[in-house]
Amino acid sequence: MKNPIEEIGILHRSNVHIKNKDKLNEILNNIARGGLRKLQVVSDFDKTITKQHEDGIPHLSSFAMFSRIRSAAEDETYQATVKKLRQKYYPIELDPHIPVKDKIKHMEDWWNLSEKAISGLMVTQQDIDDVCLECKPSLRNGCKEFFRDLNDSNVPALVFSAGCGDIVAAVLKHAGVYLPNVKVISNFLKFNEDGTIMGFKDKIIHVFNKNEYAVKNTDFYGEVADRENAIVLGDSLGDAAMTQGMEHCQNALKIGFLYEQIEDSLPQYLDTFDIVLVDDQTMDVPRAIFDYIRDAAR
């Protein structure tokens, strides 16, 4: 059996952590045998496609960008509510000592209360485009090239986000990576006739319920029905479950980006992801693995 870890030199970097090398080699060999025609990519958006920080300054999430839209920024009640919610629930999301099963109810509460807070605001597509251009979120170094390689190779890519779908889609479009192979599943806003937000269109997606229920009845599911291998990218423990329930997905290579509470969180991340990248603001590892799979088929 080949030893892909030895062949993919970037996996030897000091910030690349692998708990079970035998398992990883097995997954990489299986995916390489299937080639690109059996491959799909499933990725989180906030802090996965976008950088976790720029020179130590955290990047805004899609919901944080939404909060800078004029109608939201000028609504003192909305601003006070979302600030209070974040102060209460974000530490719970990150706390490595709280089991995921206990976090889920808190995340449901956070997203449900956020939906109530956002309802009643008036926002236009131009407002969304303007705030994305104003905030200029940075994609990971090499992200644009990675997405273009996927598109050129006809590899489907799903951006699966618990953020604000309208912002996610706008950022991808402005960055030039919302390509024909890319689909977005997220919390898209529902508007009434006069442009007032009524909540979200579908069942709320939060950081710990990104599983097959949101994918199964979509066009994307049909497109990947014959693609049994997946590269999964995320920064939250819940992201590792994004292909859960895909009966056809036999090999999922899970890559986790870790930046906050590194020392306390690393053991859980190593138990959850096949590869953990500590404070890595690039797409170097996913691109190197993609190149390995592509080259193996030649």
Question: Taken in order 151, 175, 146, 239, is the CA torsion positive or negative?
Answer: negative
**Residue indicated by tokens 């006809």:** 154
Query: What positions carry a catalytic annotation?
Result: 44, 46
- Report the C-alpha gap between 77 and 287 in whole angstroms: 44
Which DSSP helix (H) or strand (E) runs through 198? strand 197-200
- Report the C-alpha gap between 52 and 45 in whole angstroms: 11
- What's the one-letter identity of residue 162? A
CA dihedral 262, 263, 265, 268 (to 10 degrees): 130
Which DSSP helix (H) or strand (E) runs through 128? helix 125-135
CA angle, 260 then 283 then 2, to 5°: 110
Give the residue from 72, 67, 4 showing the smallest Cα distance to 33. Answer: 4
In total, the chain counts a number of residues equal to 298
Cα 128 to Cα 63, 135, 166, 247, distances in angstroms: 11, 11, 7, 36
